[in-house]
A and B are shown apart, each in its own frame.
Chain A
Amino acid sequence: MADSSVTHGHGAHGEDQNLWDGAKEPMKASYGKLMMWYFLVSDAFTFAGFLIAYGALRFSSPTWPEPDFVFASFPFVKAHWPLVFVTFMTFVLIFSSVTMVRAVQEGHRENRRGVVFWMFLTILGGATFLGSQAYEWTTLIKYENVSLERNPFGRYIADGELVDASGKPVLENGAPVVVKKDDSYLLHGHEHDGKIELEKKYIKYTSGTYAGQVQEVGQGPKAFGALFFFITGLHGFHVFSGVLFLTIIMLNAMSGLYVSRKNGYEMVEKIGLYWHFVDLVWVFVFLVFYLL
Chain B
Amino acid sequence: MAGHQTYEEQKQLVFYGLKLLAVITIVEVAFALFAKGHISPSITFGKDGGFGQALYMLAMVGASVYKAYFIVFYFMHMAHEVRGLVLSVLLPTTLLIWAIIAFFQEGGSWGSRREQIKEKNLEVVQPAPKPQGYILPGTYNG
Contact = CB atoms under 8 A, between A and B. Distances in A.
Contacts of B82: 27-29
B124 interface: no
Contacts of A68: 32-33, 36, 38
Contact of B75 (A45, A58, A97): A97
A83 B33 contact: yes
Contacts, number: 135
A222 interface: no
Contact of A90 (B11, B25, B38, B71): B25
B72 interface: yes
Interface stretch (A47-55, A171-179, A187-195, A241-249): A47-55
A276 B110 contact: no
**Chain B, interface residues (CB within 8 Å), range:** 35 or more
A291 interface: yes
B89 interface: yes
A58 B107 contact: yes
A108 B3 CA distance: 9
A34 interface: yes
Contact of A53 (B49, B64, B103): B103
**Chain A, interface residues (CB within 8 Å), range:** 35 or more
Interface of B: 1-3, 7, 10-11, 14-15, 17-18, 21-22, 25-26, 28-29, 32-33, 36, 38, 47, 49, 57, 60-61, 64, 67-68, 71-72, 75-76, 81-82, 84-85, 88-89, 92-93, 96, 99-100, 103-104, 106-108, 110-111, 114
17 contacts: A27-B81, A29-B81, A37-B89, A41-B93, A48-B96, A52-B103, A56-B104, A59-B110, A60-B108, A66-B36, A94-B25, A97-B21, A101-B75, A105-B10, A276-B71, A280-B71, A291-B28
Interface of A: 27-29, 34, 37-38, 40-41, 44-45, 48-49, 52-53, 55-62, 66, 68, 82-83, 87, 90-91, 94-95, 97-98, 100-102, 105, 108-109, 182, 272-273, 276-277, 279-280, 283-284, 286-287, 290-292
